[in-house]
């Protein structure tokens, strides 16, 4: 088996650390954590390198300095079909911290009226539309018909209109879906899942997602919410897992460069000056970070560098509001209008409702326009919409607010993006990619990140 030597550059031999490792994982987000956990299942203890002082990557929480509460960088939601993510949580011992319903059941607000999109346990989502009064009867029939045709593979996705070349909105229009159906049904799911608007997202990817998730079994379509903050769900238990299982984690360790010798040994340089050598390197960094540390000297690695810079990114803006008294009854409410998208009653989801204040999170995906506004303007617009959406918000004071903008929240999956996404295996022997942006067949999500790590672990094991 290939071995990795990690040593510090300190001059005094007494200070140098000599550790034998087979695999180095760069990046301690979900993809890196999943790689480490899955390698361990094959008896391999990797070394994981993370620049920040905690694990979890883009799914993390922090202490809000005004409220003193641990809050998430943005609301994270899953579907019942996210089996790999749920399995990882089981491995980390936090699976019970996800509240997962038996099937899809979402209240949707439009023009001041709320109606539920509720999947039929036996007949699935096409029947969720029967009582969905935000659409006319003819639109409901039209959407249900397309869902059934997609489920039965009766739509030739390449006939007349090439699904790999157009946006989902274009494709839906071609399939006879009205603007109302696109805005009040399809966008509800596609925008938050892809973090991209229907008129940007690639039709072929949205179709695949619809088949896997929206048209799965009742359980697979159920929405899952964390009952705790993201760091307690992922990062903290992951650190503990690594510690208890002898997986070395170098926290606060930024990778500054990677090179490969003629003998096939990789050298990973950290900004501290430490150098790690190994025959197997898994990059679980985002494309921008990995592009910045790959060498120009090695031809194959340099070629990747250019391709890694071709991705476009989409922002997410999360608005946290604390009302002095409760203003929202529902646990979650999706909005078709008012620009609110999805509103989460964090106090109810985390079962902290007995505090007198109510913590609400408004999650804005595909938020290019929101991201350009100042935080004050974002707050002004959102609080105005909240007053229209929740009458009580007109009489209850907001005691605290925080706006979190994540500019590079996920890659955009636009027509043609599929060919940009890298396979986990590369032409460079011993070098692998993991991450939500790699080619997993899924949107850039937690499930995709975890799946990519599991795929990489299998590839590494086959090579060793």
Ligand X SMILES: Cc1cc2nc3c(=O)[nH]c(=O)nc-3n(C[C@H](O)[C@H](O)[C@H](O)COP(=O)(O)OP(=O)(O)OC[C@H]3O[C@@H](n4cnc5c(N)ncnc54)[C@H](O)[C@@H]3O)c2cc1C
Q: Which residue ranges make up the site for ligand X (CB under 6 A)?
A: 26-32, 49-52, 57-59, 73-74, 76-78, 254-255, 284-286, 289, 293, 316, 318, 406, 409-410, 435-436, 444-447, 449
Q: Select 130 or 371, whichever has its Cβ closest to ligand X.
A: 371
For residue 57, which of 27, 35, 15 has the smallest C-alpha distance? 27
CB 409 to ligand X: min, Å: 4
Going from the C-alpha of 353 to that of each of 63, 65, 127, 347, 356, the distances in angstroms are: 19, 20, 33, 5, 7
CB 162 to ligand X: min, Å: 28
Q: Select 125 or 445, whichever has its Cβ closest to ligand X.
A: 445
* Run of H or E residues at 224: strand 223-226
CB 127 to ligand X: min, Å: 26
Q: Using CA of residue 345, residue 110, residue 313, residue 173, what is the dihedral sign?
A: positive
CB 135 to ligand X: min, Å: 25
Beta bridge partners of 48: 25, 249
CB 260 to ligand X: min, Å: 17
For residue 452, which of 84, 8, 3, 20 has the smallest C-alpha distance? 84
Q: Select 34 or 103, whichever has its Cβ closest to ligand X.
A: 34
Q: Select 98 or 449, whichever has its Cβ closest to ligand X.
A: 449
How far is CA 174 from its chain centroid? 29
CB 20 to ligand X: min, Å: 21
How does DSSP classify residue 394? G
Q: Select 77 or 190, whichever has its Cβ closest to ligand X.
A: 77
CB 405 to ligand X: min, Å: 9
Helix 446-463 vs helix 83-92: crossing angle, to nearest 10: 80
Please answer whether residues 313 and 411 qualify as being in contact, where contact means their C-beta atoms are separated by less than 8 angstroms: yes
Round to whole Å and give the CA distance between 167 and 255.
Answer: 37
What is the distance in angstroms between the CA of the first residue and the CA of the last residue of the chain?
Answer: 6
Q: Tokens 């229009």 map to which residue? A: 173
* DSSP output for 28-96: -SHHHHHHHHHHHHTT---EEE-SSSSS-TTS-EEE-TTT--EEESS---EETT-HHHHHHHHHHT-GG
Q: Select 125 or 452, whichever has its Cβ closest to ligand X.
A: 452
CB 453 to ligand X: min, Å: 8
Please answer whether residues 146 and 207 qualify as being in contact, where contact means their C-beta atoms are separated by less than 8 angstroms: no
Length of the chain: 464
Q: Select 206 or 316, whichever has its Cβ closest to ligand X.
A: 316
* Run of H or E residues at 266: strand 266-270
Q: Select 193 or 428, whichever has its Cβ closest to ligand X.
A: 193
> What is the token pair recorded at 15?
């200070």
Neighbours of 125 (CB within 10 A): 25
CB 212 to ligand X: min, Å: 13
Q: Select 326 or 443, whichever has its Cβ closest to ligand X.
A: 443
Strands 275-278 and 266-270 come out as antiparallel
Q: Select 171 or 241, whichever has its Cβ closest to ligand X.
A: 241
CB 438 to ligand X: min, Å: 8
Q: Select 117 or 327, whichever has its Cβ closest to ligand X.
A: 117
> What is the token pair recorded at 212?
């896997």
CB 173 to ligand X: min, Å: 27
């Amino acid at each position: 088996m290939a071995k990795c030597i990690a040593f510090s550059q300190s001059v005094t031999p007494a200070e140098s650390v000599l550790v034998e490792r087979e695999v180095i994982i760069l990046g301690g987000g979900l993809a890196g954590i999943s790689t480490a956990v899955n390698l361990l299942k094959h008896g391999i203890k990797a070394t994981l390198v993370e620049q920040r002082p905690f694990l979890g990557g883009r799914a993390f929480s922090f202490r809000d300095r005004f409220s003193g509460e641990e809050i998430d960088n943005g609301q994270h939601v899953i579907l019942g079909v996210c089996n790999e993510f749920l399995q990882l949580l089981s491995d980390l011992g936090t699976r019970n911290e996800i509240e997962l319903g038996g099937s899809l059941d979402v209240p949707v607000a439009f023009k001041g009226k709320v109606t539920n999109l509720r999947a039929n346990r036996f007949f699935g989502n096409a029947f969720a539309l029967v009582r969905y009064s935000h659409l006319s009867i003819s639109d409901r029939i039209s959407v249900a018909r397309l869902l059934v045709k997609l489920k039965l593979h009766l739509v030739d996705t390449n006939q007349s209109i090439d699904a790999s070349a157009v946006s989902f909105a274009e494709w839906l229009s071609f399939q006879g879906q009205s603007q109302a159906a696109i805005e009040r049904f399809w966008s509800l799911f596609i925008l938050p899942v892809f973090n991209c608007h229907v008129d940007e997202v690639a039709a072929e990817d949205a179709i695949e997602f619809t088949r896997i998730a929206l048209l799965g079994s009742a359980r697979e379509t159920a929405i899952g919410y964390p009952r705790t903050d993201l760091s307690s769900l992922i990062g903290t238990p992951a650190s503990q897992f690594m510690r208890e299982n002898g997986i070395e984690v170098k926290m606060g360790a930024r990778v500054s460069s990677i090179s490969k010798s003629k003998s096939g040994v990789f050298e990973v340089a950290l900004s501290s000056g430490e150098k790690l050598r190994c025959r197997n390197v898994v990059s679980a960094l985002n494309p921008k970070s990995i592009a910045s540390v790959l060498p120009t000297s090695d031809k194959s690695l340099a070629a990747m560098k250019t391709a890694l810079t071709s991705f476009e990114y989409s922002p997410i803006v999360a608005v946290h509001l604390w009302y002095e008294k409760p203003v929202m009854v529902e646990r979650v409410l999706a909005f078709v209008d008012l620009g609110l998208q999805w509103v989460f009653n964090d106090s109810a989801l985390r079962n902290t409702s007995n505090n007198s204040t109510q913590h609400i999170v408004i999650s804005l995906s595909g938020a290019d326009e929101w991201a350009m506004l100042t935080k004050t303007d974002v707050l002004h617009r959102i609080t105005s919409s909240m007053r229209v959406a929740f009458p009580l918000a007109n009489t209850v004071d907001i005691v605290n607010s925080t706006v979190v903008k994540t500019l590079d929240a996920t890659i955009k999956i636009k027509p043609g993006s599929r060919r940009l996404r890298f396979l986990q295996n590369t032409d460079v022997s011993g070098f692998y990619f993991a991450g939500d942006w790699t080619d997993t067949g899924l949107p850039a999500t937690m499930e995709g990140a975890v799946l990519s790590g599991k795929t990489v672990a299998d590839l590494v094991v086959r090579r060793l």
